[in-house]
Amino acid sequence: MAANILLVEDEPAIQELIAANLGRAGHHVVRAGDAETAQRIVRDALPDLVLLDWMLPGMSGIELARRLRADERTRTIPIIMLTARGEEQDKVAGLEMGADDYITKPFSPRELVARIKAVLRRRAPQATEDPVELGGLSLDPATHRVAAGERPVTLGPTEFRLLHFLMTHPERVHSRAQLLDQVWGDHVFVEERTVDVHVRRLRAALEPVGHDGLIQTVRGSGYRLSAQPAVAGV
């Protein structure tokens, strides 16, 4: 249950206190004093969870949260907000922004650790930065490129993440609900049928480069990416 946690907090004393407690709980903590630094660290280190103070000098916490949610690589990283008492409207804004939880200062270390545990438990591990290759189709998270042999494939952010997940978990059938969890993140509320639409868009992008049978429909269950054809004819 140990995790890499990025702590974004401008007050040194509080930063120290929290870091000490998280360290004692077995987590590895990286700290940032402002949102800009935090943003860079997130991109570089892709932590498992971000503990985010709402009141920051410069870019606000809420703005940082928005940006993390806007970037497809960081979209699914859980965020826990730290808010001062009485900033009710901020909480609402934060939750709408896609924060997974919030905690009001002052809080007990015990509570903080418990919430982190709960949030992490909700999320399945995934997302590597390594390039993936499968049946002539290659995808590189770092450069954000997809290619079928020589020919490049252009995808929207969501289709890219969807394909990335499918390629890193091939052969297996994924229900629409699981795909929503893994690709969209479990804090979003979207219709399951939305998955169908994105699968269709992905198929449409893959078909002209000769990968039409790649994503298969398993009726009643979900979708599966497989190099093998769904049925071997004859």
Window 148-167: residues binding a copy of itself (CB under 8 A): 151-152, 154, 156-157
> Taking CB under 8 A as the rule, does residue 193 contact a copy of itself?
no
What is 165-220 written as a DSSP string?
A: HHHHS-SSEE-HHHHIIIII-TT----THHHHHHHHHHHHHHGGGT-SSSEEEETT
In the complex with a copy of itself, the residue whose CB is nearer, 33 or 222, is: 222
Angle at 47 between CA 43 and CA 51, to 5 degrees: 105
Pair 54, 83: CB distance under 8 Å? yes
In the complex with DNA, the residue whose CB is nearer, 125 or 233, is: 233
Considering only residues 51, 139, 148, 199, which one is a binding residue for DNA as defined by CB under 7 A? 199
CA distance 175 to 219: 10
Kindly state the helix (H) or strand (E) to which residue 23 belongs, with its residue range. Answer: helix 12-24
Supply 70's token pair: 């806007």
Segment near a copy of itself (CB under 8 A); pick from 37-45, 118-126, 130-138, 202-210: 118-126
In the complex with DNA, the residue whose CB is nearer, 58 or 156, is: 156
Binding site for a copy of itself (CB under 8 A): 1, 88-89, 91-92, 95-96, 100-101, 104, 107-108, 110-111, 114-115, 117-118, 121-122, 142-144, 151-152, 154, 156-157, 171-173, 177-178, 181, 186, 189, 218-221, 224, 226, 230-232
